[in-house]
Amino acid sequence: MRYDVLGGGACMNIDKLSVKGSSAWNEDALVALEDQGVFAVIDGATSLTPYAGPAGETGGYLASRIVADVLTRKLSGPDASSVSLTDCLLEANRALRHEMRRAGIDTSRKEQLWCAGAVVVRIRDTRVEYAQAGDCMLVAMYRDGTFRVVTRDQLAPIDLETQTLWAKAAAELGSRDAIWERVKPQIVRGRRTANTPSGYAVLNGEEIFADYVEYGAINRLQLDALLLMTDGLYVPKPPGERPFDAEESAKRVASMGLEPYVRWLIRREQSDPQCLRYPRVKMSDDKTAVWIRF
């Protein structure tokens, strides 16, 4: 749809979606405050120890909704234009810690924490501000057809280790459940690196998250489009091919359109239900994105 987002005729075409993957809950969330030029995608990650909320919600589902609620409240008020995006993520992180403690979560154990990665942007007349954590990605496209991956996938090195182990296990084992049990210790090790110098930034209630959240701004010179995406929009790859390629995903969205690309992606995932050809921890991840064209 086309919105006059910033007033004065500054219009943008905005496509957005959030699609549940193969798990029971969609642990992604989306924020779209068109009048403020604010958009965010949030990717919840459930704890590695069992937890279910009052209605059976996973920790990842609750985490993404807590973050989305804080962003919406902080960035839609009368003074929202002066509110720091980074401060909003820090407040969301504190809210997450509060809700986990209310639920009886031992917040000293990383494997019990509800987590969320996020990228949030605010589009102004001459620049785009952003704040980011985890593997939620921001990609810019320019009028000359070039692409710029603005954020860094901080989880990629850890996820690559997991995928490598998964591929080795898949060569020996025939079912996803058996492979999961073989690989789970690596996933636990990766989770323990959250908000440490050897790991990645993530909203999980830890105060030290403030030291690792990334933020900045790009100017809008020759800017043609922006893509905000959770990692579910990555193309699953066979071993040996480059994984976690946000630029490839953005190019496919630009050429195919957002919804057609996601439909194509789901068909690719469904062709490998046991995750043997394309190493990954679930058949289909949740997919959330905002595609903004100027």
DSSP assignment of 105-147 equals --TT-GGG--EEEEEEEEE-SSEEEEEEETT-EEEEEETTS-E
The DSSP call for residue 208 is G
Task: Report DSSP state, residue 233.
Answer: G
Provide the pLDDT for residue 9.
43
Contact 25, 62 (CB under 8 A): no
Reply yes or no on whether the pLDDT at 8 is more than 50: no
Whole-Å CA distances, 105 to 42, 66, 67, 95, 148: 21, 15, 18, 14, 39
pLDDT tens digits, 91-149 = 999 999 999 999 999 999 998 999 999 999 999 999 999 999 999 999 999 999 999 99
Decide if pLDDT at 227 tops 50: yes
Which has more confidence, 262 or 50? 262
Give the mean pLDDT of 191-208: 97
For residues 102 and 106, what is the distance between their CA atoms, to the nearest angstrom?
A: 10
* CA separation for the pair 125, 143 (Å, rounded): 17
Give the residue, 236 or 7, on which the prediction is more confident: 236
Q: What are the residues facing 285 on neighbouring strands? A: none
Q: Going edge to edge, which strands form the sheet with 147-149?
A: 2-4, 11-19, 287-293, 223-229, 137-142, 147-149
pTM: 0.94
Please report which confidence band the pLDDT of residue 233 belongs to, taking 50, 70 and 90 as the band edges: very high
Question: For 244-256, how does the pLDDT look when each residue is reduced to its tens digit (9 = 90+)?
Answer: 999 999 999 999 9
- What average pLDDT does the chain have? 94
Q: What is the mean pLDDT of residues 213-230?
A: 98
Query: Rounded mean pLDDT of 166-170?
Result: 95
Higher pLDDT, 270 or 2: 270
Give the mean pLDDT of 178-202: 95
Does 79 have pLDDT greater than 90?
Answer: no
**Counting beta carbons within 10 angstroms of the beta carbon of residue 89, is it exposed (0 to 12), middle (13 to 18) or buried (19 or more)?**
buried
9-34 pLDDT per residue, tens: 457 999 999 999 999 999 999 999 99
Where is average pLDDT lowest: 46-55, 83-92, 232-241, 274-283?
46-55
Burial class for 128, CB neighbours closer than 10 Å (0-12, 13-18, 19+): buried
Q: What is the pLDDT of residue 50?
A: 83
Token digits of residue 176: 């996803």
